[in-house]
Chain A
């Protein structure tokens, strides 16, 4: 008894150890590979962020946020991007109105009336809209609004272009979250003798609201970084403009212009600082969207 006992314990242990070390090696190798892949993905992120911060931080000052591009001077320095910040807020606001109205409406149609024969067609069209290059959207809006003289180069034209880009994002978000609302909730509403549209708008839609808000914020963060659709629509403007009927700038558009026109190292830094402000704004909206999504 005394002699066999240690044997019976050590023998299986030895077997366990050999299996474990072979597996351990394989496991470590794969884990290393995955870590390497993650590292490779993160390198460009840190490079871009680092470069923008290093080059732009020197131009970040209070003046940069309260003065306009018009006040910039190669000789005396100064000036800022207030015109672009206001322009972005106005045009993204227009885009949000269009995106929410059309996007939520279409999302409801796709999710709540899925038996309708037009649903597959509209879903495909919405997906295709996601894939259309932003510059093409800008050209289309130019053709529809500006070439026809419905509007001039203006904030409203820029907002419409951004809105068209936002629509499919909100459509998809709305459709997905509405499908997550359990059918028992719809039945409960209908069983109270409420018409279907009222059940959808007053009971199902509120149950999905946080997901739709998340989608809208992601849409805002996507379009606020777009310069291409604004080139032929809002055109850009070094002055602070509050009327959406006039040409106006936006953050990405100003970054583009500043980078082209920079004559001095100080002006070059202003272009980088513009990029930094844009990045921080998009980072901020993404964080808000994610924390809202988590609350659900």
Chain B
């Protein structure tokens, strides 16, 4: 309300894009415990969408349900629908391997493949899926490393082990590795929480350019980060989605009292 003009601009630019990813009535259980309760939310194409909330609020659980990484957790169960371009990712005959191919993921801690070079780390997704054309691989590796803002730093030592890079570089390598299989959605699970402020700033800058090619959903503990990088923000609290709004509105004029309490630092 304090700055209605600014909010309108933010809302309009986002609402122009088509909806890419949509959750309908999504509940996620660990055994009997309901970790996420009937969440409905949609993310538009080529936007950055932040999921915030205190620890244990279900934001990471929700993120990992989007690319069906939860299938790997014993006792985890998902009900409701998660739609990618209108197709239910939990529908009959949907192979989770295909889902993960279209929805990439970057993890909290950089996790390059330990035995592989920088080049092989980026090429792994394509190579192991059967791509043998060396020229094609070279092209994708360069494009992905440029996409991950790492190319200039490593172009002379692509054969060096991925693990020889610094933590921040390793995380950008992991982003490049995810980009190499050309995903439509990129999930990021607190991608900068293990990094120093400088590396964090580089990755935040990177996200601005990444959203040209992918739609990003990012879990973050850091509300400043959410306000800096995201177009929309979703606030989770003990499994409930309390509020989903354009970021500018969320941080200036939240509709829910609990959101206001959280972003003003009253708890969490």
Contacts and interface: CB of A to CB of B under 8 A. Distances in A.
Contacts of A192: 100-101, 104, 124-125, 128, 177-178, 181
Contacts of A182: 111
A246 B195 CA distance: 64
Contact of A194 (B99, B111, B128): B128
Contacts of B98: 193
Given A198-B128, A209-B115, A193 B107 contact: no
Interface in B146-193: 174, 177-178, 181
Nearest to A203: B113
Contact of B124 (A115, A190, A203): A203
5 nearest A-B pairs in the assembled complex, by CB-CB distance: A193-B101, A191-B105, A192-B125, A184-B111, A193-B100
Interface in B68-102: 69, 72, 74, 97-102
Interface in A204-249: 206-207, 209
A51 interface: no
A137 to B, nearest CB: 35
Contacts of B112: 188
Contacts of B107: 184, 187-188, 191
A189 interface: yes
Nearest to A196: B97
Contact of B129 (A184, A190, A193): A193
Given A192-B124, A193-B181, A185 B129 contact: no
B113 A191 contact: no
B129 to A, nearest CB: 7
B74 A191 contact: no
A231 B35 CA distance: 63
A191 B114 contact: no
B67 interface: yes
Given A193-B97, A193-B125, A203-B124, A188 B114 contact: no
A192 B113 CA distance: 12
B258 interface: no
Interface residues of B, number: 27
A37 interface: no
A20 interface: no
Nearest to B99: A193
B111 A188 contact: yes
A202 interface: yes
Contacts of B97: 193-195
B109 interface: yes
B176 to A, nearest CB: 12
B114 A194 contact: no
22 contacts: A184-B107, A184-B111, A185-B113, A187-B69, A187-B72, A187-B105, A188-B177, A189-B124, A190-B72, A191-B69, A191-B104, A191-B178, A192-B100, A192-B128, A193-B97, A193-B98, A193-B100, A194-B97, A194-B125, A194-B129, A203-B124, A207-B114
Contacts of A198: 128
Contacts of B102: 193
Interface residues of A, number: 19
Most buried by A among B102, B104, B111, B129: B111
Contact of A191 (B100, B109, B128): B100
Most buried by B among A182, A187, A198: A187
Nearest to B130: A198
A189 B104 CA distance: 11
B67 A191 contact: yes
A191 to B, nearest CB: 4
A9 B97 CA distance: 75
Given A115-B74, A191-B69, A193-B101, 6 more contacts: A187-B72, A191-B67, A193-B97, A202-B124, A207-B115, A209-B115
B125 A206 contact: no
A184 B109 contact: yes
A188 B109 contact: no
Contacts of B100: 190-193
A202 B129 CA distance: 11
Contacts of B74: 115
Interface in A72-101: none
A193 B115 CA distance: 19
A280 B47 CA distance: 67
Given A193-B102, A195-B97, A207-B114, A188 B129 contact: no
A41 B171 CA distance: 51
A114 to B, nearest CB: 10
B76 to A, nearest CB: 13
Contacts of B128: 189, 192, 194, 198, 202-203
Interface string A175-189: 000000010110111
Contacts of A188: 107, 111-113, 174, 177
Interface string B100-136: 1110110101011111000000001100110000000
A203 B127 CA distance: 12
Contacts of B125: 192-194
